[in-house]
Chains A and B, each alone.
Chain A
Amino acid sequence: MTVSGGPLLDAARTGEPLAGPPELAVAALAGDRGGGPRPRAASAPHLAFRRVTEDPPWVRRGLIALALLFLGAFLLVPAAAVLWEAVRGGADLWWKAVSEPDALSAIKLTLLVAAISVPLNTLFGVAAAWSLTRFRFRGQNLLLSLIDLPFGVSPVIAGMVTILLFGAQGIFGAWCQAHGVKIAFAVPGIVLATVFVTFPFVARELIPFMQQQGTEEEEAALVMGASGWQILTRVTLPNVRWSLFYGVILCNARAMGEFGAVSVVSGHIRGLTNTIPLHVEILYNEYAFRASFAVASLLFLLALVTLVVKKAMEWRQHAERVAASRSEA
């Protein structure tokens, strides 16, 4: 039996054939509680049908207004403030703030840090997803939990570990000094801290997706004689490319925007170890608010791009799901 009791009961009472969505029939029943059987449309033209699973309009409008008020105060107003503060000094001031030498070197360093940490974590993400979704082995769940670990660690602690390892008093500090290698309070330290905080992003995006996809296509390729490398590059990666792309975008956004971890290890040397977020902080603390917001607007644009990509991904997945269910039917 596939139909719920409502419409059947309704049909039995009114003698009408089953028609329309079942919710409407239930609404009719709920509407004439105790009124006895009667044809719906004829005797109650004033009754505007509302599904019983739908809220009255005043509730709906009230809740929407309340939700928008909350999101407005906490999200929209701060977002608008960044843009307004960035542009209100005029285009010239904005351009001057983002093109002065210190800002340019911060932009360059941020790009460099992302260019190193994102590919490393992407490689790791693909390897981890392949291992955790294509095989079953003992300790799998533990490994999965450990990958999430950096999400639970405060960025300040993430930066601190680099100093504990490579700082002057650190575990490898003496070795670094003896060999003239500078890691803490220098660019390598910034890269290490960024790799740590962006570690789970690609893996976290790929693992659930590849789990859901299953292994049939790869196994078919194997039977047809493909090598492991061929399976990875011709079957798996093309299948997961959008999910992978989204993971990379998230990883990149965090790598370019990371503040706490980088702040601990950077040493804050202008023009040398300043990333864009650190440059924003320095300008802000010097009361150069306009310039600070101008540089911050670059990061804001990065966030917007990330959000747009996310939305596009969701639409894509939705469209694919609809297409899949159509082809099954």
Chain B
Amino acid sequence: MSRAAARTRRGVLPGFGLSTGFTIFYLGLVVLIPLSSVVLKASTLTWEQAWAVVASPRALASYRISFGASAIGAAINTVFGVLVAWVLARYRFPGRTLVDALVDLPFALPTAVSGIALTAVYARNGWIGQWLEPLGIKAAFSPLGVTIALTFIGLPFVVRTVQPVLEDAEPELEEAAAMLGAGRGQTFLRVILPALVPAALTGFTLAFARAIGEYGSVVFIAGNMPMSTEIAPLLIMTKLEQFDYAGATAIATVLLVASFALLLAINRLQAWTRVRAGQA
């Protein structure tokens, strides 16, 4: 095939070589080479050494709190995210625009600020913490605190994936359900909710993936006790501070594999969402 023909098939505009070349060069320089250094460093350990680090009781405890609290936070966000998306998409009430803008706050607020703000609010003498204290609930400096922080930072994901689906949903489906004699509750459970499942799952996975790697908003409120409230990213940090670079990369590899698996799942889910939306 001639060069001209190949070029036409690609597109007629100029700059293919320059833009694609720069994109790949910069991606390699900033992302791929640095990330491969993690694998490179981790491979200096033998399997036994790596296993001893990755499966040590302290590491296992850190996965438990990281993955556990992330899953609970993402689950809370799925339930309330669908609720908030529903309220924002379907109802008009005073202050709606403000609330809609506020949902993105966890995206926009630097994590260190979220961290100290949540700690101040949920500590024993904080605005919310003082009401939980008499009930025997210790929010800050406990696994609950980790969950609160991870819920906070994951909050926008489900809302922002479900909201557009609700806004684009065709009212005809609900009208048809009503015509066929379905009550509002029935219509919601059997017509609206199934259409939301792919978007809600995508949001859950996004929130979960973000929460696993989160550091800044958690370290202030967690208390950072090894075996109890020490999250996996903090364990990496601790190992780095002790100059145990190989150990740090071993734990980091576990986190990286988990995040990449989740990214793949998110890609699949988004494809599924598009197919669903196309069918509706």
Task: List B residues 119-142 near A (Cβ within 8 Å).
Answer: 120-121, 126-128
**A81–B84 contact, CB under 8 A?**
no
**B263–A307 contact, CB under 8 A?**
no
Q: Which residues of A contact B249 (CB under 8 A)?
A: 160, 164
**A81–B120 contact, CB under 8 A?**
yes
Min CB distance B234 to A, Å, is 8
**A164–B31 contact, CB under 8 A?**
no
Most central of A33, A219, A228, A289 by chain B CB within 10 Å: A228
B262 within 8 A of A: yes
Q: Which residue of A lies closest to B35 (CB)?
A: A161
**A196–B34 contact, CB under 8 A?**
yes
**B152–A70 contact, CB under 8 A?**
no
**B245–A128 contact, CB under 8 A?**
no
Chain B 249-264 interface 0/1 with A at a Cβ cutoff of 8 Å (1 = within): 1001001100110110
**A280–B116 contact, CB under 8 A?**
yes
Min CB distance B95 to A, Å, is 8
Once the chains are docked, how many angstroms separate the CA of A145 from the CA of B267?
A: 8
Tally of chain A residues near chain B (CB < 8 A): 105
Task: List A residues 270-292 near B (Cβ within 8 Å).
Answer: 276-278, 280-281, 284, 289, 292
A174 within 8 A of B: no
Min CB distance B265 to A, Å, is 11
Most central of A78, A150, A152, A281 by chain B CB within 10 Å: A78
**B233–A156 contact, CB under 8 A?**
yes
Task: List B residues 7-65 near A (Cβ within 8 Å).
Answer: 9-16, 18-20, 22-24, 26-27, 30-35, 37-38, 40-41
Once the chains are docked, how many angstroms separate the CA of A132 from the CA of B171?
A: 36
Question: How many B residues touch the partner, as a band?
Answer: 35 or more
B111 within 8 A of A: yes
Q: Which of B16, B38, B103, B117 contacts A78 (CB 8 A)?
A: B117
Q: Which residue of A lies closest to B258 (CB)?
A: A152
Most central of B127, B128, B216, B236 by chain A CB within 10 Å: B216
Q: Which of B90, B109, B236, B260 contacts A156 (CB 8 A)?
A: B236
**B263–A152 contact, CB under 8 A?**
yes
Binds B, one of A11-19, A37-45, A57-65, A90-98: A57-65
Once the chains are docked, how many angstroms separate the CA of A70 from the CA of B103?
A: 11
B225 within 8 A of A: no
Q: Which residues of B contact A259 (CB under 8 A)?
A: 110-112, 215-216
**B83–A303 contact, CB under 8 A?**
no
A329 within 8 A of B: no
> A130-B19, A135-B10, A135-B11 in contact; A164/B113 too (CB < 8 A)?
no
Q: Which residues of B contact A147 (CB under 8 A)?
A: 27
Binds B, one of A48-56, A175-183, A238-246, A320-328: A48-56
Once the chains are docked, how many angstroms separate the CA of A188 from the CA of B22?
A: 22
Task: List A residues 281-320 near B (Cβ within 8 Å).
Answer: 281, 284, 289, 292-293, 296, 299-300, 302-304, 306-308, 310-311
**B152–A74 contact, CB under 8 A?**
yes
**A154–B233 contact, CB under 8 A?**
yes
**A149–B31 contact, CB under 8 A?**
yes
Once the chains are docked, how many angstroms separate the CA of A281 from the CA of B115?
A: 9
A163 within 8 A of B: yes
B80 within 8 A of A: yes
Chain B 192-209 interface 0/1 with A at a Cβ cutoff of 8 Å (1 = within): 000000000000000001
Min CB distance A312 to B, Å, is 10
Q: Which residue of B lies closest to A63 (CB)?
A: B87
**B105–A75 contact, CB under 8 A?**
yes
Most central of A68, A156, A304 by chain B CB within 10 Å: A156
**A165–B112 contact, CB under 8 A?**
no
**B263–A303 contact, CB under 8 A?**
no
Once the chains are docked, how many angstroms separate the CA of A156 from the CA of B83?
A: 33
**A128–B87 contact, CB under 8 A?**
no
Q: Which residue of B lies closest to A155 (CB)?
A: B215
**B179–A26 contact, CB under 8 A?**
yes
**A303–B30 contact, CB under 8 A?**
no
Min CB distance A313 to B, Å, is 11
Q: Which residues of A contact B104 (CB under 8 A)?
A: 307, 310
Once the chains are docked, how many angstroms separate the CA of A127 from the CA of B18?
A: 8
Once the chains are docked, how many angstroms separate the CA of A197 from the CA of B111?
A: 13
B102 within 8 A of A: yes
Q: Which of B27, B112, B128 contacts A280 (CB 8 A)?
A: B112
Min CB distance B233 to A, Å, is 4
**A160–B252 contact, CB under 8 A?**
yes
Q: Which residues of B contact A171 (CB under 8 A)?
A: 37, 40
Chain A residues within 8 Å of B, Cβ to Cβ? 4-6, 22-23, 26, 29-30, 33, 52-53, 55-56, 59-60, 63-64, 66-68, 70-71, 73-79, 81-82, 85, 124, 127-128, 130-132, 134-137, 143, 145-157, 160-165, 167, 169-171, 195-196, 199, 215, 218-219, 222, 227-228, 231-232, 253, 256-260, 263-264, 276-278, 280-281, 284, 289, 292-293, 296, 299-300, 302-304, 306-308, 310-311
Q: A64-B87, A171-B37, A307-B101 are in contact. List 8 more A-B contacts (CB 8 A).
A: A59-B184, A63-B86, A134-B15, A148-B263, A195-B30, A253-B110, A299-B113, A303-B113
